[in-house]
Amino acid sequence: MAEEKLKKRDFYKLDRMLATESTYCILLGERSNGKSFSVKKHAVDEALDAEALTCVLLRRLDEDIKASVIEDYFNDEALIKHIIKRTNGRYNCIVYYRSKFYFAFYDKETEKTEKGFAFCKAFALSNAERYKSSTVLPNVKTMIYEEFCTTRRYLRDETKLLFNIVSSIFRLNTGRVFLIANKITRVSPYFTDFGLRGVPKMKDGQLDTYVYKTEAGQDVKISVEMCASPQHEKSAMFWGKNDKVINGSEWETNEHPLLKGTLNDYDILYELSLEHMGNCFNILLLSHNTEDFECVYVYPASLKKHERLLTEAYSTDRMITPTLLSRVKAECYIVELLNQNKLVYPSNLIGDDFISTIQNMKQSPFSLA
Confidence check: pLDDT of 312 > 60: yes
pLDDT at 5: 45
Confidence check: pLDDT of 117 > 60: yes
In this structure, are residues 344 and 258 in contact, taking their beta carbons and an 8 Å threshold?
Answer: yes
Report how far residue 143's alpha carbon sits from residue 43's, in angstroms, rounded to the nearest whole number: 9
Q: pLDDT-derived band of residue 8, with 50, 70 and 90 as boundaries?
A: very low
Phi, then psi, of 244 in degrees rounded to 5: -65, -35
Q: Which residue has the higher pLDDT, 132 or 134?
A: 132
Q: Give the three-class secondary structure for 341.
A: coil
In this structure, are residues 42 and 14 in contact, taking their beta carbons and an 8 Å threshold?
Answer: yes
pLDDT at 135: 72
For the residues 284-301, what does the mean pLDDT come to? 96
Q: pLDDT-derived band of residue 215, with 50, 70 and 90 as boundaries?
A: confident
Domains of the chain in start order, with CATH, are 9-246 (3.40.50), 263-358 (no CATH)
Torsion of CA 66, 68, 69, 70, to 10 degrees: 70
Q: How far is CA 102 from CA 11, 15, 30, in A?
A: 26, 26, 29
For the residues 176-201, what does the mean pLDDT come to? 92
For the residues 311-335, what does the mean pLDDT come to? 96
Confidence check: pLDDT of 244 > 60: no
pLDDT at 152: 87
Report how far residue 141's alpha carbon sits from residue 120's, in angstroms, rounded to the nearest whole number: 10
For the residues 320-343, what does the mean pLDDT come to? 97
pLDDT at 278: 86
CA angle, residues 320, 325, 330, in degrees to nearest 5:
105
